[in-house]
Chains A and B, each alone.
Chain A
Amino acid sequence: DAKTTQPTSMDCAEGRAANLPCNHSTISGNEYVYWYRQIHSQGPQYIIHGLKNNETNEMASLIITEDRKSSTLILPHATLRDTAVYYCIVRDSLSGGSNYKLTFGKGTLLTVNP
């Protein structure tokens, strides 16, 4: 699976949009981009995933560049409860066996300030 690079930490003001970048320059054609987050002392929570097109759900939007080498997770109106570590993960969803696991790196600590 391709490696991802994320900033260690970011700050955001409450009510503003939080834009979390992820670099995955070695991504291959059949690899998806997944985002999870982990609020302190809790298990990770799935947010969104995508392949090529931009995606939106009730939690966030995912913007993937045309060359797919980077992506941005957007929380449109960040709240204090969005303070968490955000993980960007790239993996191949088409192969079987052990590739069904996701590899979590250190992620980005997003702190939403009042």
Chain B
Amino acid sequence: NAGVTQTPKFRVLKTGQSMTLLCAQDMNHEYMYWYRQDPGMGLRLIHYSVGEGTTAKGEVPDGYNVSRLKKQNFLLGLESAAPSQTSVYFCASSDGTGREKLFFGSGTQLSVL
């Protein structure tokens, strides 16, 4: 049981490049989330999904897109990376019962030059 797995763990992009971060969970959770964390800050929600085929905006959605084509996967896309998107990205999932725990992945360190 791997829990929540994020790939890649590290990535360096040039301004304007695109990339996709993959999050996979094997706990059959309904809800999935993408957060970003900047130095000295708490986590800020980018996008989330309450089920397969659904997505919704969080606090800081601009510059990102997401897709949830399969229940176990939640993809975060950057179409044209900017230096302001340099951050650590965390994916999380939960079972959606209302008092659920969030399970987090180990994070992706992204640097945009």
A binding-site residues for B, Cβ under 8 Å: 32, 36, 41-46, 49, 87, 93-94, 96-98, 100-107
**Cβ B96 vs Cβ A100 within 8 A:** yes
Please count the residue pairs between chain A and chain B whose beta carbons lie under 8 angstroms apart in the complex. Answer: 55
Within 8 A of A (CB), among B1-36: 4, 31, 33, 35
Q: A36-B102, A46-B103 are in contact. Are A87 and B90 (CB under 8 A)?
A: no
Whether, in the assembled complex, B77 has its beta carbon less than 8 Å from a beta carbon of chain A, the answer is no
**Cβ A100 vs Cβ B104 within 8 A:** no
Which residues in B have their C-beta under 8 angstroms from that of A43?
A: 4, 90, 92, 104-107
Q: How large is the interface on B (under 10, 10 to 19, 20 to 34, 35 or more residues)?
A: 20 to 34
**Cβ A102 vs Cβ B102 within 8 A:** yes
Given contact pairs A44-B102, A100-B94, enumerate 16 new A-B contacts (beta carbons under 8 Å): A32-B99, A41-B107, A43-B90, A43-B104, A43-B107, A46-B103, A93-B98, A93-B99, A94-B98, A97-B50, A98-B58, A100-B96, A101-B45, A101-B48, A104-B35, A107-B42
A interface SS class: loop
Within 8 A of A (CB), among B26-85: 31, 33, 35, 40-45, 48, 50, 56, 58
Name the one of B4, B31, B106 contacting A100, with C-beta atoms under 8 angstroms.
B31
Which residues in A have their C-beta under 8 angstroms from that of B103?
A: 46
Name the one of A97, A101, A105 contacting B42, with C-beta atoms under 8 angstroms.
A105
Which residues in B have their C-beta under 8 angstroms from that of A44?
A: 43, 90, 92, 102, 104
Cα of A41 to Cα of B50 in the assembled complex, Å: 27
**Residue ID in chain B nearest A32 by CB atoms:** B99
Which residues in A have their C-beta under 8 angstroms from that of B106?
A: 42-43
Most buried by B among A45, A98, A100: A100
Which residues in A have their C-beta under 8 angstroms from that of B31?
A: 100
Q: Nearest Cβ in chain B — how far from A34, in angstroms?
A: 8
Most buried by B among A32, A102, A106: A102
**Residue ID in chain A nearest B90 by CB atoms:** A43
28 contacts between A and B (CB under 8 A): A41-B107, A43-B4, A43-B90, A43-B105, A43-B106, A44-B43, A44-B102, A45-B104, A46-B102, A46-B103, A49-B101, A94-B98, A97-B50, A98-B48, A100-B31, A100-B48, A100-B50, A100-B94, A100-B98, A100-B100, A101-B33, A101-B48, A103-B42, A104-B42, A104-B44, A106-B40, A106-B42, A107-B42
